[in-house]
Amino acid sequence: MTTDLMRTETKRLLLLGHDYLGAGGIEARFAERGYQVERVQVIPPDRFEDPGVDVDFPDPRDYDAVLVLGARWSVYSDQVASWVKPELELLGTADEAGVPVFGICFGGQMLAQAHGGEVVASPAPEIGPQVVAGIPAVAGIWTQWHHDRFVPPPDATVVGANAAAPQAFVLRRNLAVQFHPEVDADSVRGWVEDGGAEDARGRGLDPEVLLEHVASLDADVRVRAAALVDYFLDQVATGR
């Protein structure tokens, strides 16, 4: 299918970002598939140190799909309770209405929390490229940066995992992934410069070596990110 044909029908994608809005190859593929992206940043940059904001979320039923990105906070932190609860309600409304949701890292954890799973501190935090086993759209090396992990809902189907954590699950029209298919070396460098260097060093990692590793994967990951969106739209979102 050509790009021109992909753009013949415009649909609306609600992109929920918490502390960042960039979704790289994931967002690009949605656009190629005919989606108009509408972004909502939950936490303004001047509130990152005090993230307990009140948020008036849009109605997910006004959209054809929802993409929920990562965050530097924990789902269970009291700091973010003011907006986590209404965002969980948004995810519940989307599920009831059959609106497909794709959750990445924190977004995947929110899907678990919303639908009967839970989010817990990980005994094996993952930073940098890690191997994931699973279905073809999920299997491979993906960049990670998380200290929590999700416990999938009891009725979910796990489609990706590694020794550290469940890495992907499907539940009705919801896809949750623990890894970051949307990031490249430039975006990870932003994380490193925003406090991530200290975090990496605390895990025994050299930030520059980590960035070189991420950069070596950029071209391949962009192709695989597109395939992951195709899997979401063609199989998960259609309920196949």
Residue where the block lists tokens 């410069």: 193
Q: From residue 171, give the alpha-carbon distance in Å to each of 67, 69, 103.
A: 15, 18, 12
- Annotation marks residue 182 as catalytic: yes
Rg (alpha carbons) of the chain, rounded to whole number: 17
Residue of 87, 105, 115, 146 marked active site: 105
163: left (phi over 0), alpha (psi -120 to 50) or beta: alpha
Residues listed for the chain: 240
Edge-first strand order for the sheet with 174-177 is 35-41, 11-17, 65-68, 101-104, 174-177, 166-171, 157-161, 118-134, 140-151
- Annotation marks residue 198 as catalytic: no
Residue 104 dihedral angles phi and psi, to the nearest 5° = -115, 125
Tell how many helices (H) and how many strands (E) occur in the chain: 7, 9
Are the beta carbons of 193 and 210 closer than 8 angstroms?
no
Are the beta carbons of 24 and 56 closer than 8 angstroms?
no
The sign of the CA dihedral 108, 178, 221, 43 is: positive
Tokens of 62: 């006004």
- Annotation marks residue 212 as catalytic: no
Residue where the block lists tokens 């973010």: 80
Q: Which residues are the active-site residues?
A: 105, 180, 182
